[in-house]
Structure 1
Amino acid sequence: MQLSEAKRGRISSWDRSGGNDDRVHIAPGETKVIAEIQGPGAITHIWMTLESTEKYYLRKVVLRMFWDEEEHPSVESPIGDFFGAGHCETTNFVSLPIQMSPESGRGFNCWFPMPFSKGARILVENQNEVSEVRLYYYIDYEQWPTPLSNIAYFHAQWRRAICKGKSEEKVAQELLDDADPHGLSPEELNRLFLFGGKNTTGAENYIILEAQGRGHFVGTILYIHNLRETNLWNWYGEGDDMIFIDGEKWPPSLHGTGTEDYCNMAWCPTQPYSAPYHGLILPGGPNWSGKVTLYRFHIEDPIYFQRSIKVTIEHGHNNHRWDDIASVGFWYQSEPHIPFPPLPSLWKRLVLVG
């Protein structure tokens, strides 16, 4: 270890009156700046917990972060999704950079380092309709005597799509040259739906991240709501990951073999599991029904790009499935970054019932 000229700091929600109301009250429709730090330096740890009486508030409250007086946020995500609670369901899990801690996963933690040269600003917006949010937080940081050269800035972006898939009959018609699929058994139709066809472009894949500039991708938390109702084999995860670097065409240099394979698991997992870099926070219900949360962090194996990156994954093999998928992509890059698409309206962000 070496001695350092850095100074440690913390911004928290402690009660400035000396009382015990150690939280920030955010009214419906209100945005509060919860931290402003003058640089150079880096945020090293964030802890948060929050409460509200409104349903789905973890997707209604939005977290934004800005570096070096930039106009557009480098981090923009519903607060629950950022920390692993993308279905508005908390549960204890441990990874290296993100954790949900007891009680019942409501203690949110992030250890991604977030450097800056001139300063940092963190905002929380309450988009609840009627209820306030009570937010407790620590933002731990260090200040440096001089800025780093060639900084890669932390970024995180939320996305969501209710994917456009195909019916079992439509898939069978396409694969059997428009033959009548009614002569097939339900099991045969299901097998064609799950495993049939060829994806030779990646054009209809779910997009986790698109970025331009120079940097490295460090992972994602992936939220899948299995919307298909069937008593037959209903595995959601035949979709291959395809990561396109610097504008390359299909097939990309990073092409995987299945959703659980990308997340370093195997054989259609049904067991909750958390490791430093990969895991299954929510495994879904019987026959992989309902809501599933997986993650894969590229801490030891960052994915570098010099000009651009497009991180995608199929929604079922050949994009046959029509599941509700959301994600947070995490990466570092030089600034300026391309402004994110506008965050979808509140009603387009809410969790589907089921």
Structure 2
Amino acid sequence: MDFLSSMSSLPLVNGGRSRAVTGENPKGEKGAGGKEASNLGPSRKGRPCYPLVKAGETVTLCDIEGPGVIQHIWMTAPGKTNDQNPFVLRDLILRIYWDGEEIPSVECPLGDFFCLGFGQGYHVNSLPIAVNPNRGMNCYFAMPFHKSARVTVENQNELDITALFYQFDYTLYDELPKNTATFHAQWRRQNLTEKGKDYVILDGVEGQGQYVGTFLCLSALERYWWGEGEVKFYLDGDKDYPTICGTGTEDYFGGAWSFASYPEGKCVETTYQTPFLGYPYYSVKDGTVENPYHDDSCPPMRSFYRFHIMDPIRFSQNLKVTIQQIGVSHRGLFERQDDVSTVAYWYQLEPHKAFPPFPDRFSRWPR
């Protein structure tokens, strides 16, 4: 049964039943959308969002009985609550649970899940993730579930979030193939990497599945070119050496030669976005804070995505993914220490192991 949407499968009628969970239809019920009344009257935009997420509160946005597949997620939230709490996109925690799980399969700051790093809002134009003006966050990863799907958001900001908008578009089926894997995403950070020791993007994955994407945020804390680190995939019992070892950071994200271009003879680092590989964000300024008493200069902030849609990394027993922190200068290659955070995206057959303890709020804030 072809239950995943693609251009080639659109003409095939497969018996699926389309539904959507929104503020206007919180349970995704058939014929039950838009019942709430507004000042315009009944069924006139009466509840377009989750109106209030209190500080410290966890709300359930979506609780679906399956089998089914979430095929599109759209969300948006305020960028900040005030100048003292400017990183809402890192203060809101997205968690997704499949088939009655007690531990999440997705645990990630809301912004980073949608490739928005550093608590910033900017445009992302890839195939599975798109962010449009203004913080219109979209995800097209297919997310199957055999029995149920539950999506929560926790507000760890000091203040209430006065409007959280969302839509989960999904299809219900009578059954899914037994070998259908579930979607996972995990956020990690080291605000100072260890010299000579590879940063771990993902570890502790056991079972069968395929790795489908990496989102990386890097704040450069040392001089010179920072992107010589190689991405390594340790597959199915690899110990000292990985089966797949790349050739450098900019190479893994589809660029080359330090992302350099030379307009008018001057070397310029160039950002770009394509369906599967991108460098959407570069800044040395914090765009979230407006404070005349403080300089908003920051260490250079860069974010990158690579989605293994056409080239998934398949594993049958276990998986570990790392990246080196290596730079180069006039003196040659050298080991670096930088501030790195990542999101790993993958599918695997359940059960999955519990994720590492999630970092506290201020440990997630950017420099």
TM-score clears 0.5: yes
Match of 1:274 in 2: 273
Displacement of 1:114: 0.2
Match of 2:166 in 1: 137
Displacement of 1:18: 2.4
The total of aligned residue pairs comes to 309
Displacement of 1:32: 0.5
Displacement of 1:289: 5.3
Match of 2:98 in 1: 67
Q: Give deviations 1:60-107, integer Å, cap 9, x for gaps.
A: 10000000001110000000110011211111121010111123xx10
Q: Distance in 2 between matches of 1:142 and 1:319?
A: 51
Structure 2 counterpart of 1:241, from 231, 236, 244? 231
Displacement of 1:2: 1.9
Q: Distance in 1 between matches of 2:227 and 2:252?
A: 10
Structure 2 SS opposite 1:26: coil
CA contact (8 A) 1:126 1:133 kept: no
Structure 1 pair 340–99 and aligned structure 2 pair: CA distance change class (3 A):
same
Displacement of 1:145: 1.2
1:314 is aligned with what amino acid? Answer: Q
Displacement of 1:22: 1.4
2:67 is aligned with 1:36: no
Q: Distance in 1 between matches of 2:257 and 2:282?
A: 13
Q: Distance in 1 between matches of 2:194 and 2:180?
A: 41
Q: Distance in 1 between matches of 2:155 and 2:334?
A: 35
Structure 1 pair 319–44 and aligned structure 2 pair: CA distance change class (3 A):
farther
Displacement of 1:40: 0.3
Match of 1:264 in 2: 254
- What does 1:1-354 correspond to in 2, within 5 Å? 1-14=11-24, 16-19=35-38, 20=45, 21-24=47-50, 25-51=52-78, 52-53=80-81, 54-103=85-134, 106-165=135-194, 204-210=197-203, 211-228=205-222, 230=223, 234-269=224-259, 270-285=269-284, 290-317=300-327, 320-352=335-367
CA contact (8 A) 1:162 1:322 kept: no
Displacement of 1:151: 1.5
TM-score after normalising by structure 1: 0.83
CA contact (8 A) 1:271 1:283 kept: no
CA RMSD of aligned residues (A): 1.8
Q: Distance in 1 between matches of 2:168 and 2:217?
A: 26
1:205 is aligned with what amino acid? Answer: D
CA contact (8 A) 1:163 1:206 kept: no
Structure 1 SS opposite 2:350: coil
Q: Distance in 1 between matches of 2:180 and 2:238?
A: 25
Structure 2: unaligned runs, 5 residues or longer? 1-10, 25-33, 39-44, 260-268, 286-297, 328-332
TM-score after normalising by structure 2: 0.81
Match of 1:173 in 2: none
2:274 is aligned with what amino acid? Answer: A
CA contact (8 A) 2:193 2:199 kept: no
Q: Distance in 2 between matches of 1:156 and 1:16?
A: 34
Q: Give deviations 1:23-81, integer Å, cap 9, x for gaps.
A: 11201001100001100010000000111413111101000000000111000000011
Q: Distance in 2 between matches of 1:158 and 1:237?
A: 21
Structure 1 pair 255–92 and aligned structure 2 pair: CA distance change class (3 A):
same
Q: Distance in 2 between matches of 1:284 and 1:260?
A: 17
Q: Distance in 2 between matches of 1:153 and 1:2?
A: 23
Structure with higher helix content: 1
- Sequence identity (%): 41
Displacement of 1:249: 2.6
Displacement of 1:17: 2.2
Q: Distance in 1 between matches of 2:13 and 2:162?
A: 41
Q: Distance in 1 between matches of 2:334 and 2:219?
A: 15
Structure 1 pair 18–88 and aligned structure 2 pair: CA distance change class (3 A):
same
Structure 1 pair 35–273 and aligned structure 2 pair: CA distance change class (3 A):
same
Displacement of 1:227: 1.7
Q: Distance in 1 between matches of 2:160 and 2:221?
A: 30
2:250 is aligned with what amino acid? Answer: E
CA contact (8 A) 1:224 1:323 kept: yes
Structure 1 SS opposite 2:362: helix
